[in-house]
């Protein structure tokens, strides 16, 4: 970055925080807090062009059969280009055990799409199940969507490939991404003083690593370890009639838990009294998450601060209908049973204009 560009960026940050009515001392702290936030190149359009065009299918038809569809109907997922709309921002939220871009065999354990309209319309939060069977932009075959975090050699990074796969499924261009580690998630929960979790009964899962799940029934404030165990538990046991019995713990159940904690974390942002407290939070957690280099400091600050005023009860949270199936390798996968467009519009008809087809 040139000296002139660096000066311009700092000036923009100064103007941004000054507009929020803070002191020059706070401006300096904001700049200092954001200096250690890892920012990586993120250009899905350029990455898409770098892939072999023959490996990116425009329409994929999966005949689910009895395992995925009792009626034996075919489920069609089409990669349709929609008109980008400046009136909304689409964020890709990725959670993984490993944050380093150089790590091998990474998997995205959490994939969410957060649609934030800039006109005041209700935001939308949708989970993409990690085992959703979608076209792999790198190989051209079908695979679980979470494997895309491995990227495609030197041509496409993990976040870019996840974004391409998600764009092909949803039809919405991804504007920005946030990637966090589970350790980062734990520290975030600790930093905000814990998160309320409300299981109907006492729950536990001794198989969760590194700290087993052990929560009482009803609402309680869970620390970072227990919040992490709650979202990671794959074999949850519930105390029913004095006995511990297995509870349903599918991808969809974990998606619900993940969303609940994201919503609760957003709600807790209201506890921040001024932007200096936000800066202190970012400074402490800077090494625990990664954002794209297209998300400017001014935009990141203003977006994070504006979430304080968001009424989290107004966030629309539709669930993608899926069917359980087994792929050719014998692995359990999930087959989408509806288009992303139809699910989102059914939940919030006002968003139909965002799905206007281009061309």
- For the stretch 226-269, pLDDT in tens is 999 999 898 999 999 999 999 988 888 889 998 988 888 888 77
> Average pLDDT for residues 32-55, to the nearest whole number?
79
- Rounded CA-CA distance 212/205 in Å is 6
Same domain, 125 and 211: no
Domain boundary among 232, 252, 272: 252
Same domain, 325 and 348: yes
Residue 183 makes CB contacts below 8 A (sequence gap 6+) with 288
CATH number, residue 266: 3.40.630.190
- Rounded CA-CA distance 238/294 in Å is 44
Same domain, 171 and 203: no
Give yes or no for a cis peptide into 210 (omega within 30° of 0): yes
C-beta separation of 283 from 187 below 8 A: no
Q: At what angle do helices 182-191 and 251-268 cross, to 10 degrees?
A: 40
Q: What is the tally of structural domains in the chain?
A: 3
- Rounded CA-CA distance 100/85 in Å is 32
Same domain, 302 and 322: yes
C-beta separation of 221 from 195 below 8 A: yes
Among 47-61, 146-160, 163-177, 231-245, the least confident range: 47-61
C-beta separation of 94 from 128 below 8 A: no
At residue 52 the predicted structure's pLDDT band, cuts being 50, 70 and 90, is low
The per-residue pLDDT of the chain, averaged, comes to 80
Same domain, 146 and 96: yes
- pLDDT for position 162: 96
- pLDDT for position 335: 96
- pLDDT for position 141: 92
- pLDDT for position 267: 81
C-beta separation of 95 from 110 below 8 A: yes
Task: Burial-class residue 196 by CB neighbours within 10 Å (0-12, 13-18, 19+).
Answer: middle
Chain segment 191-219, per-residue pLDDT in tens: 888 989 999 999 999 999 889 999 999 99
Whether 119 shows a pLDDT value over 60: the answer reads yes
Can you give the residue range of the structural domain that contains 12?
3-34
> Average pLDDT for residues 41-55, to the nearest whole number?
80
Same domain, 13 and 42: no
Q: For residue 49, what is the enclosing H or E element?
A: helix 44-50
Same domain, 123 and 169: yes
Strand order in the sheet with 213-215: 213-215, 203-205, 237-240, 243-246
Whether 133 shows a pLDDT value over 70: the answer reads yes
Among 53-62, 98-107, 269-278, the least confident range: 53-62
> Average pLDDT for residues 159-183, to the nearest whole number?
92
- pLDDT for position 292: 92
Determine the straight-line distance between the first and last CA of the chain, rounded to whole angstroms: 37
Among 103-107, 235-239, 304-308, 351-355, the least confident range: 103-107
Same domain, 245 and 269: no
At residue 324 the predicted structure's pLDDT band, cuts being 50, 70 and 90, is very high
- pLDDT for position 318: 93
Q: What does 147-204 look like in DSSP terms, one character per residue?
A: GGGG-BTTTB-HHHHHHHHHHHHH-----EEEEEEHHHHHHHHHHTT-EEE--SS-EE
Same domain, 150 and 266: yes
Q: Which residues pair with 326 in a beta bridge?
A: 332
Same domain, 154 and 105: yes
- pLDDT for position 99: 45
Whether 106 shows a pLDDT value over 60: the answer reads yes
Q: For residue 256, what is the enclosing H or E element?
A: helix 251-268
pLDDT > 70 fraction of the chain, expressed in percent and rounded: 77
More confident residue, 318 or 265: 318
Q: What is the pTM of this model?
A: 0.81
Whether 67 shows a pLDDT value over 50: the answer reads no
- Rounded CA-CA distance 94/173 in Å is 16
- pLDDT for position 228: 92
Whether 60 shows a pLDDT value over 50: the answer reads no
Structure tokens at 276: 């200096």
- Rounded CA-CA distance 227/249 in Å is 16
pLDDT > 90 fraction of the chain, expressed in percent and rounded: 40
- pLDDT for position 62: 41
Q: Is 153 left (phi over 0), alpha (psi -120 to 50) or beta?
A: left
Polymer length of the chain: 359
Residue 240 has a CB neighbour count (10 Å cut-off) of 12
Whether 156 shows a pLDDT value over 50: the answer reads yes
Residue 48 makes CB contacts below 8 A (sequence gap 6+) with 56, 137, 164
- pLDDT for position 54: 42
Residue 46 makes CB contacts below 8 A (sequence gap 6+) with none
> Average pLDDT for residues 57-63, to the nearest whole number?
39
Same domain, 129 and 206: no
Same domain, 70 and 201: no
Note the Cα 34 to chain centre separation in Å: 21
- Rounded CA-CA distance 144/335 in Å is 10
């Amino acid at each position: 970055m040139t000296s002139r560009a660096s000066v311009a960026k700092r000036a923009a940050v100064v103007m941004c925080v000054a507009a929020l009515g803070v002191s020059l001392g706070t401006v300096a702290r904001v700049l200092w807090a954001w200096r250690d936030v890892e920012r990586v190149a993120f250009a899905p359009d350029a990455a898409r062009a770098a892939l072999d065009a023959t490996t990116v299918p425009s329409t994929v038809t999966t005949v689910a059969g009895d395992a995925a569809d009792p009626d034996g109907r075919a489920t069609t997922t089409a990669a349709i280009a929609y008109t980008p709309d400046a009136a909304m921002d689409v964020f890709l939220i990725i959670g993984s055990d490993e944050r380093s871009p150089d790590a091998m065999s990474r998997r995205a354990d959490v994939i969410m799409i957060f649609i934030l309209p800039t006109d005041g319309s209700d935001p939308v939060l949708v989970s993409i199940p990690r085992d959703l069977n979608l076209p792999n932009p790198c190989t051209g075959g079908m695979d679980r969507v979470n494997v895309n975090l491995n990227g495609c050699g030197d041509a496409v990074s993990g976040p870019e490939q996840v974004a391409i796969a998600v764009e092909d499924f949803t039809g919405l261009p991804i504007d920005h991404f946030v990637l966090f580690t589970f350790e980062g998630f734990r520290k975030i929960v600790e930093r905000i003083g814990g998160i309320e979790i409300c299981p109907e009964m006492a729950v536990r899962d001794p198989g969760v690593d590194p700290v087993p799940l052990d929560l009482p029934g009803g609402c309680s404030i869970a620390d970072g370890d227990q919040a992490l165990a709650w979202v990671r538990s794959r074999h949850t046991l519930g105390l029913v009639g004095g006995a511990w019995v297995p509870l349903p713990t599918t991808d969809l159940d974990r998606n619900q838990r993940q969303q609940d904690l994201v919503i609760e974390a957003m709600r807790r942002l209201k506890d921040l009294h001024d932007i200096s407290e936000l800066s202190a939070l970012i400074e402490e957690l800077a090494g625990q998450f990664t954002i794209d280099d297209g998300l400017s400091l001014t935009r990141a600050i203003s977006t994070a601060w504006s979430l304080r005023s968001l009424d989290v009860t107004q966030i629309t949270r539709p669930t993608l209908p899926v069917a359980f199936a087994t792929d050719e390798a014998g692995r359990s996968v999930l087959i989408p049973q509806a288009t992303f467009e139809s699910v989102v519009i059914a939940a919030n008809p006002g968003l139909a204009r965002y799905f206007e087809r281009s061309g």
